[in-house]
A and B are shown apart, each in its own frame.
Chain A
Amino acid sequence: MKKTFLLTALLLGTGLAYAQELMTRIPAQANAVATFRTGHFFDLISVDEFNGSVLGKAAFSKSANDPSKPKTVSDLGVDLAADAFYFYTTTDSVGYHCVWLPLKDQAKFESLLGKGNIQRQASSSRLTAADSSTVITWNEKQALVVSPGLRDDFFAIKANAARHGLKILDYQPPVIVDSVSVTDVAATPPDSADLVITVPPPIAADAAKAATEADKAQQKADDLYNNYTKSYAEQENLKKGLALKWAETEASRLFTANGPGITGDPSFSRSLDRDAVASVWVRNLSHVLAPAFSMLGFRNPAASRSSLSGFKTVTGQLYFDNDQIRLVTAMELDKTLADDYKRIYSRKLNKKFLNYVDSDKALGFFSYAVNTEAYLDVFPGLMKRTVPLYLFGEEAEVADLAADIFSTVVDEKSIGKVIKGDALFVVNDIRQREVKYKSYEYEGDDFDAEPVEKTKTEPSPDFLFMFSSDDHRIFDRLLAMGEKKGVLQREGELFKVIKGSDAVDLYLTIRNNIVFVGSSQAQMQDVAKGTIRLKTSARHRSLLSRNAMSFYFGPKTLSQKLATDAWLRDETVLRFNEVLKGMGNVYLRSGGVRKNTVTAELVAENGGSEKNALAYLFRLISAAAK
């Protein structure tokens, strides 16, 4: 027993040390790292269970008939007991997407790579993808995949491009003048000095000659375009060659790297948690967002990189505990942004809202609490910091001006009283609602069309929405006006919407400085009279009152509501219900800003009797795939 324990400890120790070794080969300056703890994953679900699962089968379905292709995850040659990593590094001119894979069987791994031109070296082997987009380097212990991407903002600067033997192509399509329709070219001078007229002014009297000139102009334009596309292809090839050369150098550097690498970074080290199956760490979100905005076509990426300075480290951890799946995310903010968000999230949800949640019956809810006054107050500053530079490019002052006008015009205090900033939306039921529709019957002597009104049932949610308003005079006036115009019908303190869409019944009322909108007449009558008495569970109370934002979905409650003949007649509902039955509750919560960090947590409870939440997830996927 003691020997077995010692041996296990030794093996585990070796595994950990090796995982650590691969991690040290992630460069210290990496911008983002994702860790997949393969060993932990396969502790929770065995390799055989994975291979037999819907996901396992789907992953290898395409290679089922090819004996040379892998059939199971074990055929990949990857060490399923060690960690795998993705990381992204960047310089001012190039970014590298890289993957470190621990290997167990080099031969099996090589069989995945096909019949490419493998370069064998003393300590490693290398393969370059046919399209030169990726370099794969490996030995018997590990494989490194490097995929480079040159940075457009760097190569948009002529001097930078020239330094690497590249040219910036400036293609301007020529303007072809319609030789027949133009009668007085001299009278219409070009608007811009840059305008290129490729044909001389045609002479209307000599249409044939003008047509020939137009043909020549077209030919010239075609030649220009063809030359451009040829040059473009040449430049792209040069870029590809440059990127590949750099990727090979980077791969060699990483493969033989020594030292602590990223493990020496305190922020990264703090983010490590071996209990998580997968983790993500992003050094600085601003640095990731800026090139992303650049790729999306926003101008002035260089400026946007400095403007988006408020967002810092982002971390995410995915856990599969025995009883729940947890996705925990955290985003660090700089002090200015954190102070702004602290003010925005300074409001708690109105405690009176808790009286309107029936935890036993509610299918789900969504709540949020922000301070409208603070939000409107900090909004212009936020807009100035984040919006103008990447959205408006050189016209940033337009955004500045817009922010100042907004700040001047808006009375934050008054609006903050009308809509305080907290709201709760509760879905209480889903029922079959009778709706009318028009059809035609042809029962007459001559099959004359007779329009008839018929009824049918449709699924309709019963919901209750509420928000706080300390100054609801504007809503009182709106309700009075609605009644006067015949849109609303008053029954005591309750207003029923009688005009507009009949897809859902709508009732409105205001009580205790809360504006209510609901679809259930009975519940809304109780709300209006103040006689509603609902039981909110301690868990829901905590979720709602302690968080700036919360979400809850109760699949089993929904399943119970759907378990009637009327619902289960529908095959889709029947299938849906089978999945719901086996699901646990889902929660999402965000507590706002604490210690300059915004956190959010998604929890999906293990709704079955599986040994852990990963096995539960696999069972759920299998049920949904049926």
Chain B
Amino acid sequence: MVNTMLRGTTAVVGVSDTPWYKRGTSGEPALKLVLRAIVSAAEDAGVDPSEIDGFVSYGSERNDGQRMMPALGTKELRFGALVWTHGGGIPGALGLAATAIVTGQANVVVVYRAMSEYRGRRLRVDVAQDDTSPQHLVNGLDSPAQLCALRSMRLIEAEGVPARTLRDMALASYHHARRNPRAIGRDTELDAETYEESRWVSEPYHLFDCSRENDAGSAVILVSAERAKDLKQKPAYLLGAPMGAASGWGMREESGNPYWSAGFQGVADRLWADTGYGPGDVDVAQIYENMTGMGVSALIEHGFCTPEGAGEFVTFDNLIAPNGGLPINTSGGNLAEGFIHGMSLVGEAVRQIRGTSTNQVPDANLSLMTGGPGDPVVSTALFASAAAL
């Protein structure tokens, strides 16, 4: 049953990322970076930053609205919240922003994320939240790369998904980054041989399977569908953004099921039910890939292919713009454009609807953005042009 309250009733009207900096090199704290991104997103939309009355983020974002309002000239802060837990919460943050708008609690809501190693503790506090369990740390498991590696190893050895799918995810992202002048990885010519010869981080992940670590800020602005019509940009309507976890999921350390899951069991089904569309309708997708293998799991759970069919679906040719069956991560994504906890994937999903991506998919009317895979709770979002409402 389509969710009539949220389907197409709000839209993203402004997007912006700051330039990408290798971690520790921005010279600016996260608060300043995120202010830059928000002001720029407001200019993109054609609204004054002081009009923003709602602030939604996710994970452990510390730059809350109350901290920013003196710098934004905020007329009134009417709504603010953090969505659980890590990058899994991004589409959920969009959904919460939309909920605030359709229930009349706020009018102009910004969803954002910023991280900086400058005077900060980017990875351990901002990303991992210092919340790694003793069951992991005692046994030599620290990084998300290692925890995700365990899931992808199971995907390969027990579900029979070819390891080659991980490589092709990476090749597609780096291919797209070549045409994105903002991408940190734009000068890296990644081919199969370079990938195979790159060092292991945690098997089955090579260096090129892992997302980057950057300082940057990223923001998008949502308003009601009605107001969106009067603003500067072509609106990217939000059709749905469910969040959640099925009964075998949630925080279960290494005993969650299915183990190879990116967490989208049930959540992806609700996206299709809420929006009235299915995986076959999607024109382009931004698949949050903290690590490539988790992106493969996300594709499977969204119904683009089965584990048995993943080898056939997840190929370089099928994943690239403009003519692949499902072009993914058309900005270069978390692997090759830059990593600001996945947030910049939202902007790219919106640019595809506007027709302004540097790897534009022709006539993109339905644009998917999936949240951080493998999180104990995740979310996923579908955007549409007016033609697909």
Q: Do chains A and B stick together as partners?
A: no
